[in-house]
Structure 1
Amino acid sequence: MKKILACFIAFCCVSIAQATEIAVVDFRAALLQSNIGQEAAKGPKQQVAQMDATLQQEQKALETSANELKRDELTLSQEEFQQRRQELAERQNRLRGMAANMQRQAKELEQELIESLTPTGEAALKSIIEERNLELVLNRQLSLYASAAADITDELVMRINKDN
């Protein structure tokens, strides 16, 4: 009797574990891949491209200055050479600061974009959860392994596109 009861309890536990519907989703990617995400990203992408173009111009100008300093090194006085080298180092530091600032601004623009799209994405995700009777949805980056069937990112993208 004890063995039968233990087997019954084990069977119930296995059945419960198998009945749990679990899915994974890359919510950020779904938002950015959706039609509204693509449309909303156009402005920030242009801003980042403009910042990148400015940064590249500054890098080229800095390289030109460095090459000129190498070329003129033997004709300059020690004092003038040191002064130009110091100016070059200061320009390099400003360029590094510009690059760091550009990266920070790009991240802020993306974060603002994600925040503006999140309510739409959450509504679409909620409808998928209800339709599929999901009991647990994990962020894909947090899971060690998930089969392709468990990943609902593409389904979320299609739902966002359909609803908007």
Structure 2
Amino acid sequence: MNIAGTSAIPTPSGIHHIKLPVTDLERSVRWYAAVLGASRLTQLDHRRPDGTLFAVILDVPGLGTRLELRLDPATATALAGYEFLTLAVDDRAALDRWITHLDSRGITHSPPVVALVGWVLVIPDPDGQRLRLYTIAPHRLDADRIEYDSPWLSTGPARI
């Protein structure tokens, strides 16, 4: 492909929203409210002409964009275990505050895991898709401490 002489590439204005497939809208709305403090924007509910609800829009504090939960059981099931979204937290102390928050609500999560650069906390949603919290501040641990074999980290397909 020759790009010499082509016009400038247009740039997006940002992220409009993030869309996640779910198997049960109401259960997922409750979960994201409990975990992230999300609130449903009912005026943006997505309904078919017959009135059937097929998606909801959530406002999530600190996310910087809206989160759409789309009723799509087949896709949600197929993505179980996938790490769909990684949110930034300042440091290990902030991660510990998240652990306290999640524990107080009985939300399943990983222990703090030594990832490539920082600490990561993995939180499976009701469909098994994995929300991650990753520290901005590096852990400054030796590379041999990285938990490549943790069941909570996805390191890609095994080498053959």
Query: Same fold per TM (> 0.5)?
Result: no
More helix by percentage: 1
More strand by percentage: 2
Structure of greater relative contact order (alpha carbons < 8 Å, 6+ residues apart): 1
Say which one has the larger Rg.
Answer: 1
- TM range, normalised to the smaller chain? under 0.3
TM-score, normalization by structure 1 = 0.19
TM-score, normalization by structure 2 = 0.19
